[in-house]
């Protein structure tokens, strides 16, 4: 007994017509007729009255069993398909805020792709307002951000520890200094971040601890490194960053000046707390290993 023949019987019964059943099943009318005849031969009883077309008593009993069998077959197909899908290569979405963790970002991505070519790794650019929201809203699976979030919903791997710089217009007097102190930069007009920007990032950008919690003078709006640089090049505001920033964003009309007495700051890889995804675990392991291996060579940690 073939399931296809049972499906045909049900279609004829529901349509009350062999021709309409054939159209519904995309079969020839002769094939539909043959399916019903074969079922009647298998069971040894008439299953359909022909005029009008309707189920016999035996046909009604078989139809109940047919619906159960067809439903079970569909459940089995879905279950097997789900298992097969679970065995397919996964996807890993890697969020990157700005230049991420300097040279460690491309190094980790390349190492992961080499070690796990079966995984679809996708890079997702993030702006300053997405410090943790992109991760917690499941838009990314791991993310290179700075500074380290203060949030129990995420796990943190510290990758770099770097000194701080300010990004200023090249025409400002401050731009010619080989280095500056916090007292020299606290009164600068800093780029303005949206209200939704997480507090740890605004405190980081504005050196809030050094200014006693007071807000800075405000320049142009910015939510990405490019917007910070554009504002600085136009003389419309300053920004701050980690020292590696200047290796990745040389920008005409701007200067990056070290702030020698500012506390050093981390760049980190964050993931959702308790995430047991094998792709996430493998990426974290690679990033942490490369941080230990490449960090001293890149002089990203204090001597």
Same fold, 3-86 and 91-158+266-298: no
- Give the C-alpha distances (Å, rounded to integers) separating 62 from 46, 69, 91: 11, 10, 46
pTM over 0.75: no
Q: How confident is the model at residue 303 (pLDDT cuts 50, 70, 90)?
A: very low
Residue-wise pLDDT tens digits, 247-272: 999 899 999 999 999 999 999 999 99
Residue-wise pLDDT tens digits, 74-106: 767 765 655 544 545 689 999 999 999 999 999
Q: Average the pLDDT over 6-20 and give the result.
A: 91
Q: Is 161 helix (H, G, I), strand (E, B) or coil?
A: strand
CATH number of 3-86: 1.10.10.10
Domain boundaries, the chain: 3-86, 91-158+266-298, 164-258
Class for domain 164-258, per CATH? alpha beta
Give the Cα separation of 243 and 163 in Å (integer): 6
Give the Cα separation of 202 and 3 in Å (integer): 64
Rg (C-alpha) for the chain, rounded Å, is 33
DSSP category for residue 238: B
Cβ distance 1 to 42 under 8 Å? yes
Class for domain 91-158+266-298, per CATH? alpha beta
Residue-wise pLDDT tens digits, 169-190: 999 999 999 999 999 999 999 9
**Does residue 147 surpass a pLDDT of 50?**
yes
């Amino acid at each position: 007994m073939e399931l296809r023949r049972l499906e045909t019987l049900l279609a004829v019964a529901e349509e009350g017509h062999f021709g309409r059943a054939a159209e519904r099943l995309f079969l020839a009318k002769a094939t539909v007729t043959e399916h019903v005849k074969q079922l009647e031969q298998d069971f040894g009883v008439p299953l359909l009255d022909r005029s009008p077309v309707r189920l016999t008593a035996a046909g009604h009993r078989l139809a109940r069993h047919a619906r159960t069998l067809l439903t079970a077959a569909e459940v089995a197909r879905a279950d097997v398909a789900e298992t097969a899908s679970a065995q397919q290569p996964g996807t890993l979405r890697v969020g990157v805020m700005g230049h991420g963790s300097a040279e460690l970002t491309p190094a980790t991505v390349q190492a992961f792709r080499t070690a796990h070519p079966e995984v679809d790794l996708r890079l997702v650019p993030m702006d300053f307002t997405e410090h943790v929201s992109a991760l917690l809203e499941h838009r990314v699976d791991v993310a290179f951000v700075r500074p380290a979030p203060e949030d129990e919903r995420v796990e943190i791997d510290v990758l770099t520890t770097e000194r701080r710089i300010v990004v200023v217009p090249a025409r400002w007097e401050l731009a010619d200094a080989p280095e500056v102190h916090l007292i020299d930069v606290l009164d600068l007009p800093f780029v303005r971040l949206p209200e939704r920007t997480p507090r740890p990032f605004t405190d980081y950008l504005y050196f809030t601890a050094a200014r006693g919690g007071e807000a800075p003078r405000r320049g142009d709006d910015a939510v990405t490194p490019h917007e910070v640089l554009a504002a600085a090049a136009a003389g419309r505001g300053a920004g701050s960053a980690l020292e590696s920033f200047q290796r990745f964003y040389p920008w005409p009309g701007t200067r990056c000046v070290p702030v020698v007495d500012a506390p050093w700051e981390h760049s980190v890889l964050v993931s959702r707390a308790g995430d047991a995804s094998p792709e996430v675990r493998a990426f974290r392991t690679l990033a942490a290993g490369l941080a230990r291996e490449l960090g001293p060579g890149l002089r990203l940690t204090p001597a």
